[in-house]
């Protein structure tokens, strides 16, 4: 190209560059939010390729201008023509990208990819997984907090969708771990904001179902990445995913109980009702997906967990978390346990005192060593690690009792038929008898031996709590709610042993209570008054015990008689 044409070329390049730059500026001015913390301006620049276009546009003006000024054509002018064409193509592409990421479906996809990229950067920092301290997630979490502070329900719902949307697309296990931890953290954070920080209840309705569904998909993706197709050093079966699903169930149970407490004081509390409605089906969905063969539920092709959980250890870790905070669907969880650990479903009805643990023992033995429908020996290994079926049943029973709400609470209006808030004594009885019908304590001596061992929690002792604690620690990220074993719940642990004896040997139960140390009797009586009866006072369980404070419970014979009377009445 001749030098004479270069003058026209650089004017053409400058005109195109100016037109596109003006268009980009107008779009930014109309659509972009200058106060947003996520995505940042730099994120938008990188996504739209703005720097590359600006560079090409600058040189598409400078080179032909230099050819025009120096009077040299040839290669320099030809190169200038190529740059003008390139900057036009790049400018149009950048403008289209900007239009995509500032509105509609394109923006949702962009932010979902950006959230995944933030998670990948966080994953490169290694373990432990601490969501609230991850610098890579600071922008995203800042956007969540901004939406909460401004009560922007639409923006909060979008943030939740963005992190849950690509849960099945993670390519590395470490990223899936961080996503699961983030989803669990957000479930607790949104629920807490609605209940205690005056965030409108609509936020729970909009955000929580997306987060729970995302946790289901992400947990299954983690199992795919660490399952049989993964590298040997990453193969952890479905135990790690079960830890997080259990944490989600614990958070849901805590939200239900906290909302129920709010409604006792303010029956018209709309936010508490929204929380209850939002998480009402959360636990049920998790139960249905982890169940290998859920009755009356048919999985779709795109659903996670097409075959449910398969590792007995994973089921026990998940079930222990289900029992926390007076959680619903515990009975269904026991049916899942029976099927996974023995290879065959349990067809009895625990409401009629059919004992699931008795049937498990009949099939595989108290130590799990007898093969039934499974031949890999995994059940025997897991049951032995948990200290036997006796320890499993009693520790689960203690966990359920520790989470029972105040028996004097009334169901919120509109929830009278919901079993989660039932005041039917048969429902309360079933929460205990599903474990206490297992005749695993033959006499008071065995009950006292188990109780002393459970409350001591020696490091060398095998127990379900040790299995749960080890699995949670190995998962590499802490839960949003503290974990407590039977040693931190002496009153509930004592009641679990007492209920088991009372169910089968009332005379032995009386002897057991007579031989208990006074602090354990006082603690068990307080908890029984609180959660098992509506008669008399209901004080919180004392954190410390002394003879002076124990006198408030009555004299020694009266305390023991009252405790036995409450337990006998609830199991009758």
Q: Quickly state the pLDDT bin for 235 (edges 50, 70, 90).
A: very low
Between 568 and 408, the more confident residue is 568
Q: What's the mean per-residue pLDDT of the chain?
A: 84
Between 164 and 226, the more confident residue is 164
Q: Quickly state the pLDDT bin for 355 (edges 50, 70, 90).
A: very high
The residues, any chain, with a CB within 8 Å of residue 26's CB and separated by 6 or more, are: none
Q: Specify the DSSP class assigned to residue 38.
A: S
Q: What is the pLDDT of residue 155?
A: 87
Average pLDDT over residues 37-44: 72
pLDDT reading at 316 higher than 90: yes
Q: Quickly state the pLDDT bin for 495 (edges 50, 70, 90).
A: very high
pLDDT reading at 86 higher than 90: no
Give this prediction's pTM. 0.84
Give whichever of 23-37, 106-120, 130-144, 308-322 has the largest mean pLDDT. 308-322
User: Could you identify the residue written with the tokens 């995203």?
Assistant: 140
pLDDT reading at 416 higher than 80: no
Choose the weakest-confidence range: 127-141, 167-181, 499-513, 544-558.
544-558
Q: What is the pLDDT of residue 515?
A: 94
User: Could you identify the residue written with the tokens 């899936």?
Assistant: 176
Which tokens go with 264? 């006792």
Cα–Cα distance measured from residue 485 to residue 462, given in angstroms and rounded to the nearest whole number:
13
- CB 340, CB 315: distance < 8 Å: yes
- For the stretch 240-265, pLDDT in tens is 888 888 989 888 888 888 888 888 88
Which tokens go with 254? 């805590």
Cα–Cα distance measured from residue 15 to residue 129, given in angstroms and rounded to the nearest whole number:
52
Q: What is the pLDDT of residue 231?
A: 47
Q: Residue 128, preceding bond cis, omega within 30 degrees?
A: yes
């Amino acid at each position: 190209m001749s030098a004479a044409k270069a003058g026209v070329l650089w004017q053409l390049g400058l005109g195109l560059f100016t037109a596109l730059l003006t268009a980009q500026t107008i779009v930014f001015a109309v659509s972009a939010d200058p106060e947003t913390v996520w995505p940042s301006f730099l994120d938008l620049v990188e996504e739209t390729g703005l720097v590359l276009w600006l560079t090409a546009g600058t040189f598409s003006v400078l080179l032909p201008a230099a050819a025009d000024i120096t009077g040299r054509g040839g290669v320099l002018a030809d190169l200038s023509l190529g740059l003008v064409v390139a900057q036009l193509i790049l400018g149009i592409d950048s403008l289209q990208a900007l239009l995509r990421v500032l509105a509609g479906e394109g923006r949702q996809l962009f932010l979902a990819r950006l959230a995944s990229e933030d998670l990948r950067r966080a994953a490169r920092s290694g373990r432990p997984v601490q969501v609230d301290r991850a610098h890579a997630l600071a922008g995203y979490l800042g956007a969540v907090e901004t939406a909460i502070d401004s009560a922007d329900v639409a923006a909060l719902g979008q943030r939740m969708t963005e992190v849950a949307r690509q849960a099945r697309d993670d390519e590395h296990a470490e990223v899936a771990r961080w996503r699961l931890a983030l989803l669990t953290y957000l479930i607790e954070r949104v629920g807490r904001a609605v209940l205690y920080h005056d965030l409108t209840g609509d936020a729970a309705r909009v955000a929580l179902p997306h987060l729970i569904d995302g946790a289901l998909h992400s947990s299954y993706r983690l199992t795919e990445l660490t399952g049989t197709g993964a590298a040997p050093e990453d193969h952890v079966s479905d135990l790690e995913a079960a830890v997080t699903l259990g944490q989600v169930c614990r958070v849901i149970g805590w939200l239900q109980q906290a909302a129920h407490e709010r409604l006792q004081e303010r029956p018209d509390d709309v936010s508490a009702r929204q929380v209850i409605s939002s998480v009402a089906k959360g636990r049920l969905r998790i139960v249905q997906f982890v169940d290998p063969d859920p009755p009356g539920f048919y999985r779709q092709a795109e659903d996670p967990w097409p075959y449910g959980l398969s590792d007995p250890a994973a089921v026990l870790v998940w079930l222990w978390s289900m029992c926390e905070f007076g959680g619903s669907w515990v009975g269904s969880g026991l049916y899942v346990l029976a099927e996974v650990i023995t290879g065959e479903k349990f067809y009895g009805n625990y409401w009629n005192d059919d004992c699931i643990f008795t049937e498990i023992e009949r099939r595989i033995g108290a130590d799990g060593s007898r093969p039934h429908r499974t031949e890999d020996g995994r059940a025997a290994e897991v049951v032995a690690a948990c200290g036997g079926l006796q320890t499993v049943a009693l520790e689960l029973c203690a966990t359920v009792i520790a989470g029972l709400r105040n028996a004097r609470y009334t169901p919120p209006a509109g929830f009278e038929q919901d079993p989660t808030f039932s005041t039917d004594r048969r429902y309360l009885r079933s929460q205990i008898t599903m474990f206490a019908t297992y005749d695993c304590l033959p006499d008071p001596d065995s009950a006292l031996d188990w109780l002393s061992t459970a409350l001591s929690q020696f490091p060398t002792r095998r127990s379900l709590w040790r299995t749960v604690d080890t699995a949670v620690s190995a998962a590499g990220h802490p839960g949003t709610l503290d974990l407590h074993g039977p040693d931190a719940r002496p009153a509930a642990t004592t009641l679990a042993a007492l209920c088991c004896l009372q169910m089968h040997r009332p005379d032995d139960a009386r002897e057991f209570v007579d031989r208990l140390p006074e602090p354990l009797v006082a603690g068990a009586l307080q908890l029984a008054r609180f959660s098992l009866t509506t008669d008399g006072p209901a004080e919180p369980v004392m954190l410390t015990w002394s003879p002076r404070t124990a006198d408030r419970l009555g004299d020694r014979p009266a305390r023991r008689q009252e405790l036995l009377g409450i337990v006998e009445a609830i199991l009758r």
